[in-house]
């Protein structure tokens, strides 16, 4: 199958492109390399030494004999370039990763808020409009986030995108319906993903596009079967306060002897998925397109939920690292429950990688191996959600919590 991978130089996009190519698909990556530019803006680098795109692609060819094409393209700004690419490639599927994906980065300043909205919403609308204008039947697979649901669940399991609701009409009669689960974004980044959902619903209804939206949990891990084939294929690993996701940050903190920084009490419950499973889910989604003119297919792409403090305790037990509770820079509840339905992808064949099984390998093979590349000054989360959150987010919040 011919597949376009938009944002295929990124943390999830690169291993997905390799996996699809390894499975015999004809893959083209389009990326504007903005994530590498943001590394320079933030003065930070991936913990793992990632090769430049030409070296990545020639390594893949020399190791497997397979070719992946690369197109340098900004899909949010260069609509004509995107349309030409779709017309030239005639892909059966397109996987859309090409968005600014850090919540803390999106909250740094008004410039970062405006960039995230401009980039993400234009990117998604351009993809949808270009597929319509091309007249081709392209299945669009998008990486969304569990964060669109918000983290307050009123005692119910979060369904896969749609909520069954009973409404009362004007005559007092009950009407059963299904609605998009009400969004409750916690940052500008999450807000753009909520807006993406509406764009998808509209284009599926109006133009009959085939769309799969994967509401992904926090991805952890670094490598997949394909990225381990050669050091030049190594995947990105972000550990800094803006782009590092919570579990990967704990792994690096443990490896460099930095305390594990837990925001507030650490009672926030979040959904997680290993990178290897994320890539597998995308492959399953690509192979199972919804019918034309059906509603958007939404899957919750996650395998486990954990409280942040429990993750820190697990890693502390394995490594002896100290746990430090710091003030939470985010505007969010200190504790929450989270129960999530994920039968959709499991019924398509996903067999989850569990945290206990893979955590130790990740610590030794990645975090400890590349610990000397870590700049500890980049570890603290310094992006604040509101001016009320101002204060030292690196200092312990007090003896009471520290002892919790
Ligand atoms: N990493 C996670 O834990 C996670 C969790 C849930 C959802 N997601 C979603 O998965 C997708 C990929 O995330 P990631 O972690 O790989 O992020 P990433 O930043 O590593 O990769 C995104 C890629 O898209 C490219 N890009 C951004 N804007 C572009 C544009 N306008 N034109 C062309 N290319 C552009 C970037 O250069 C980068 O290579 C994102 O949409 C993100 O919201 C990620």
pLDDT in tens, 289-346: 999 999 999 999 999 999 999 999 999 998 899 999 988 888 888 888 888 999 999 9
Q: Is 193 a catalytic residue?
A: yes
Does any ligand 1 atom lie closer than 6 A to the CB of residue 160? no
**How many angstroms does the Cα of residue 35 sit away from the middle of ligand 1?**
8
In this predicted structure, the answer to whether residue 92 has a pLDDT above a threshold of 90 is yes
**How many angstroms does the Cα of residue 196 sit away from the middle of ligand 1?**
14
Residue minimizing CA distance to atom 15 of ligand 1: 11
- The angle at the Cα of 249, spanning 247 to 252, to the nearest 5 degrees, equals 115
Residue minimizing CA distance to atom 43 of ligand 1: 101
Q: 40, 101, 126, 303: which to mutate for ligand 1, most atoms within 8 A of CB? A: 101
CA dist 47 and 367 (Å) reads 8
| Burial class (CB within 10 angstroms; exposed 0-12, middle 13-18, buried 19+) of 356 | exposed
Does any ligand 1 atom lie closer than 6 A to the CB of residue 76? yes
pTM value is 0.94
Q: Which of 115, 189, 239, 243 is catalytic?
A: 189
CA dist 209 and 203 (Å) reads 6
Q: Would the CA dihedral through 196, 244, 305, 7 be positive or negative? A: positive
CA dist 8 and 73 (Å) reads 11
**How many angstroms does the Cα of residue 398 sit away from the middle of ligand 1?**
36
Query: Integer distance in angstroms from the first to the last C-alpha of the chain?
Result: 53
pLDDT in tens, 118-175: 999 999 999 999 999 999 999 999 999 999 998 877 788 999 999 999 999 999 999 9
Nearest atom within ligand 1 for CA of residue 101? 43
pLDDT in tens, 36-82: 999 999 999 999 999 999 999 999 999 999 999 999 999 999 999 99
The distance of Cα 59 from the centroid of its chain, to the nearest Å, equals: 26
Question: Could you tell me the residue ranges of all domains in the chain?
Answer: 2-378
Locate tokens 């397979």: which residue? 66
CA dist 190 and 197 (Å) reads 11
CA dist 374 and 10 (Å) reads 19
Q: Does CATH number 3.40.50.720 belong to domain 2-378?
A: yes
pLDDT in tens, 124-134: 999 999 999 99
Helix (H) or strand (E) holding 307, with range, is strand 304-307
Q: Which of 193, 245, 261, 269 is catalytic?
A: 193
């Amino acid at each position: 199958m011919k597949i376009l991978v938009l944002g295929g130089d990124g943390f999830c996009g690169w291993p997905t492109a390799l996996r699809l190519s390894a499975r015999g698909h004809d893959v083209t990556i389009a990326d504007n390399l903005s994530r590498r530019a943001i590394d320079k803006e933030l003065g930070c680098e991936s913990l793992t030494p990632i090769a430049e795109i030409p070296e990545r692609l020639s390594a893949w060819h020399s190791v497997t004999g397979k070719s992946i094409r690369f197109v340098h393209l900004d899909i949010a700004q260069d609509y004509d370039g995107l349309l030409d690419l779709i017309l030239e490639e005639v892909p059966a599927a397109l996987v859309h990763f090409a968005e600014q994906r850090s919540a803390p980065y999106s909250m740094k300043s008004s410039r970062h808020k405006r960039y995230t909205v401009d980039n993400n919403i234009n990117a998604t609308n351009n993809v949808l409009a270009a597929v319509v204008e091309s007249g081709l039947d392209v299945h669009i697979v998008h990486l969304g986030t569990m964060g669109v649901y918000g983290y307050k669940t009123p005692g119910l399991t979060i369904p896969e995108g749609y909520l069954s609701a009973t409404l009362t009409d004007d005559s007092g009669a009950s009407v059963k319906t299904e609605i998009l689960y009400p969004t409750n974004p916690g940052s500008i980044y999450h807000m753009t993903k909520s807006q993406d959902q509406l764009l998808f619903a509209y284009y599926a209804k109006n133009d009959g596009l085939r769309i799969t939206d994967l509401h992904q949990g926090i991805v952890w891990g670094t490598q997949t079967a394909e990225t381990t084939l050669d050091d030049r294929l190594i995947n990105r690993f972000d550990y800094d306060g803006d782009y590092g996701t919570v579990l990967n940050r704990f792994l690096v903190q443990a490896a460099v002897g930095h305390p594990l920084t837990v925001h507030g009490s650490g009672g926030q419950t979040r959904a997680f998925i290993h990178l290897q499973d994320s890539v597998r889910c995308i492959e399953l989604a690509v192979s199972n397109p919804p019918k034309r003119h059906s509603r958007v297919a939404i899957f919750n792409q996650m395998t486990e939920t954990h409280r942040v403090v429990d993750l820190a305790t697990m890693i502390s037990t394995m490594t002896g690292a100290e746990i430090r509770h710091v003030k939470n820079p985010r505007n969010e509840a200190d504790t929450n429950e989270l129960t999530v339905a994920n039968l959709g992808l499991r019924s398509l064949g996903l067999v989850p990688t569990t945290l206990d099984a893979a955590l130790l390998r990740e610590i030794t093979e990645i975090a400890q191996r590349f610990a000397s590349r870590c700049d500890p000054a980049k570890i603290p989360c310094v992006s604040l959600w509101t001016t009320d959150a101002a204060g030292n987010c690196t200092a312990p919040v007090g003896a009471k919590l520290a002892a919790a």
